[in-house]
Amino acid sequence: MKNTLPWIVAALFLFLALYFYWQKNEAESRLSIADNQVEAIDQELEEQTEAVDSLEDMVLPPDTMSLVPPGGAAFVDELGTLSQGDIQRLQRKGLENPEAALKNDLNRKQDKLIPTDGVLGGSMAIRDSRILNDRYAMAYYEDGHIGGYMILKYEVSNGNISWKVIDNSKL
């Protein structure tokens, strides 16, 4: 009997070792199957995301908030500088610093002048403007999604400025 107890303990340990080895292999095979399923689902999700992105590119215009305005929006530096004669005429009509006063007034009144509403939550704003002479100005406006150009006519009387949109071209 004394010799059988160590054999029973050894057999028990051997049985437990085999049992835990079998459980480990079973868990590894289940994990491998689960990994394969996750990989297949990831691949399918990636394909669906690519399909949605390609459809969005067809439907929505690209976001232009981080882009430079189109070529004509960044006006040539010489364009929009008032001549000395224009400055004198505008000063006689009551504007001390004509170009600054006109641009500030245009920015204050832009909500009433921009002929297009913003889309996709954007707010239309004038991004660049040029005073062309003592009667006309040009402006580029956008909301980050859509934009356009305006030609404006202005009149100055006793320092008061009134604006009228002459022409508008949407991009």
Domain annotation covers residue 78: no
pTM of the predicted model, to two decimals? 0.52
The answer to whether 154 touches 139, Cβ cutoff 8 Å, is no
Q: What is the C-alpha to C-alpha distance for residues 71 and 80, in angstroms, rounded to an integer?
A: 16
Domain annotation covers residue 36: yes
Considering its fold, how many domains does the chain have in total?
2
Through-space distance between the first and last CA atoms of the chain, rounded to whole angstroms: 99
CA 32 to chain centre: 42
Q: Quick one: 93 and 160 in the same domain?
A: yes
Domain annotation covers residue 74: no
Q: Quick one: 143 and 101 in the same domain?
A: yes
Domain that holds residue 97: 84-170
Task: Please list, in sequence order, all residues whose beta carbon lies within 8 angstroms of the beta carbon of residue 70, skipping any fewer than 6 positions away.
Answer: 147, 171
Largest Cα–Cα separation, the chain:
126
C-alpha distances in Å from residue 128, one per residue of 1, 72, 73, 77? 102, 10, 7, 12
Q: Quick one: 18 and 54 in the same domain?
A: yes
Q: What is the pLDDT of residue 40?
A: 93
How does pLDDT run across 158-171, given as a tens digit for each residue? 889 999 999 888 87
Q: Quick one: 100 and 154 in the same domain?
A: yes
How does pLDDT run across 102-130, given as a tens digit for each residue? 988 988 888 888 888 778 877 888 888 88
Q: What is the C-alpha to C-alpha distance for residues 171 and 165, in angstroms, rounded to an integer?
A: 17
Q: Quick one: 41 and 97 in the same domain?
A: no
